[in-house]
Chains A and B, each alone.
Chain A
């Protein structure tokens, strides 16, 4: 077996290929959350908004040099291609190799920084120490001042995690699967508790550090970009409602910056994993991200979007539209008067547009053409808003009717263009046909009264 002769024989190119391939299912490739000017002596700075440097052929952004330190692993998680029982080429980067690659890529502006994760080598603490050493070298010997994101290894010694936290901008610990049962079934070596303990530790570290910085302006920053986590979607039978509740809990109780969702790709072919003939559940992942944004920026709560009776997201409508058509009593919203919270709940109005509306209506009464300039997506918003007491077209506030117009884009009627105002009648699109047949109606049909 050739690959047993690891280490020196492998070229950097081989190692990069193996270790990039091993890291590609990690999603957290963002470089946001930290604003740090260059200090004139070292290389690098950070921009709060984050910078995307390229986009791979799957359309995901390449912002950081996303690699594993090693893909050797003592664990045997069933969903992971690096599991120890999997027969794949293995490789390990030395700290110097990682540093040189990062520096050379960074000065050519290929990347915004380093994302370093690792398989578990020997023990969690040993691995964490290797990661710490690499990052220390990168910061202190190579004078790299750019963005660094590392994975905290669950089960590693708390001192190591604390030490690493002072060198990096963001740390993350993967929750892997939304529920403890799922984790137990698919990742026998990982436990919910060992994942949540370091998460809590980092949260407390960030809080304490905030106080320190108030006291001493130049105190070292601890994980200044906050921490994130990721969950695999579709490997275990959780509902969207459960997943969203977990995410909400993480945001509230652990002050996470981001929760990432990763549509499950079956790379190991394990018998306990679902086969996904239709490809990874990308739409589901997309809906979860949409809902995630609603939780963080739009003031929604998880139980508003989904509940026990509707545990999955609507395939045709995005979560905000779905909420709006189920809560027509809140609409229409008057653009020139409604408070910010109500504007944010209108489909087609985002945070930016809502802010612009609030600013612009101070100096003028807004009309629909002004809304267009502001950036409101009128094809979605027009069913839910009024300007100066008028709707854009005569529109019925009726769930059935609005859903049809929001979904059937091609068949949508241009209102007013041909004198048609409401929907055209046809024999079969009567909403009452879809409802449950009552015993009384059945009787009436039988005796010929309907």
Chain B
């Protein structure tokens, strides 16, 4: 048994996949692990990310499986599950071995690894779709829009293109509280990501008076739009889980 020890990043996992193929491993006897837990009778191989190899893997994945399935694989890798590296690796191996058509990577759901990767991608994709709606921006005094989120999966990378397309002329920041991770979009320019350690401590955030007024207007709108004869808080919670509600203005009390 060979175990590639990766970091929790797309680069590291794709490098490991490249290595597994370069060294002609038997896929059934090979594992990608994100943890350091020792495995009995296994040979550990540490993985050092290498940009060239990552780019080659991305190119192959896109060529063989198509753009959509490549995105699904990235979604699966954004999950917080520790088994994701192994699931994605074996899904890719299965797809290449079956010589599957583009867009048909996840057809073979009877395979446990394919199903695992599929489930992870579906879960992350759902959270991404949720957050596209549930992200709330606050306007700070310097007119920068600022949003704080705490998603289960690593979503900032997927949210940034959506909001950059939507608000091209705004300066906005999305801050992932759980991973200490910033997505930054300067008005009219390309967005980028920043790790919290590099950004330094954020100073106390000041929101403008106008911002408070709009928050109150929206709260009032949400209160009024509900039909009291149809009140159904369970349904509301099913559609909008509590873990999102804590970041949303309409569920916060007036300060």
Contact = CB atoms under 8 A, between A and B. Distances in A.
B109 A373 contact: yes
The 7 A-B residue pairs whose C-beta atoms are closest, nearest first, are A59-B235, A56-B226, A359-B107, A58-B230, A20-B224, A59-B232, A38-B165
Contacts of B168: 38, 40-41, 43
B132 interface: yes
A58 B250 CA distance: 14
A373 B109 CA distance: 7
Interface in B174-221: 214, 216-218, 220-221
Interface stretch (A159-167, A316-324, A360-368, A401-409): A360-368
A60 interface: yes
B227 A356 contact: no
Nearest to A360: B109
Given A17-B224, A280-B230, A107 B239 contact: no
A54 B138 contact: no
A16 B221 CA distance: 7
Contacts of A51: 129, 132-133
A56 B227 CA distance: 9
Interface string A364-381: 101000100110000000
A101 interface: yes
A359 B240 contact: no
With most chain B CB atoms within 10 A of its CB, the pick from A13, A57, A364 is A57
Chain A contact residues (Cβ within 8 angstroms of B): what range?
35 or more
A219 interface: no
B236 to A, nearest CB: 5
B165 to A, nearest CB: 4
Contacts of A66: 225
B29 interface: no
Contacts of B249: 110
Contacts of A40: 168
Contacts of B162: 47
Given A43-B167, A104-B214, A363 B136 contact: no
A310 interface: no
Given A17-B224, A43-B166, A363 B229 contact: no
A53 B236 contact: no
Contacts of B226: 24, 56-58, 60
Given A41-B168, A108-B214, A110-B218, A57 B231 contact: yes
Interface in A200-256: none
Interface string A346-365: 00000000001001101110
Chain A interface, DSSP helix/strand/loop, else mixed:
loop
Contacts of A112: 133
Given A55-B240, A363-B98, A17 B139 contact: no
15 contacts: A13-B217, A13-B220, A16-B221, A20-B221, A43-B167, A49-B129, A55-B235, A55-B236, A56-B222, A59-B230, A60-B226, A108-B137, A109-B133, A356-B107, A359-B104
Contacts of B230: 58-60, 263, 265, 279-280, 282
B110 interface: yes
Contacts of B224: 16-17, 20-21, 24
Contacts of B49: none
A62 B165 CA distance: 22
A109 B135 contact: yes
B221 A363 contact: no
B221 to A, nearest CB: 5
Contacts of A13: 216-217, 220
Interface of A: 12-13, 16-17, 20-21, 23-25, 37-38, 40-41, 43-45, 47, 49, 51-63, 65-66, 101, 104-105, 107-110, 112, 146, 263, 265, 279-280, 282, 356, 359-360, 362-364, 366, 370, 373-374
B169 interface: yes
A374 B108 CA distance: 10
Contacts of B229: 265, 279-280
Nearest to A365: B110
Given A24-B226, A108-B218, 13 more contacts: A23-B225, A43-B166, A45-B165, A51-B129, A55-B235, A60-B225, A66-B225, A104-B214, A105-B214, A110-B136, A112-B133, A146-B166, A279-B229
Contacts of B107: 356, 359-360, 362-363
A360 B230 CA distance: 41
A110 B250 CA distance: 9
Nearest to A359: B107
B236 A57 contact: yes
Contacts of B216: 13
A448 B151 CA distance: 74
B239 A61 contact: yes
Given A37-B165, A101-B217, A109-B135, A62 B227 contact: no
A142 B225 CA distance: 25
Contacts of A57: 223, 226, 231-233, 236
B170 A374 contact: no
Contact of A56 (B98, B138, B236): B236
B19 interface: no
Interface in B116-171: 129, 132-139, 145, 147, 162-163, 165-170
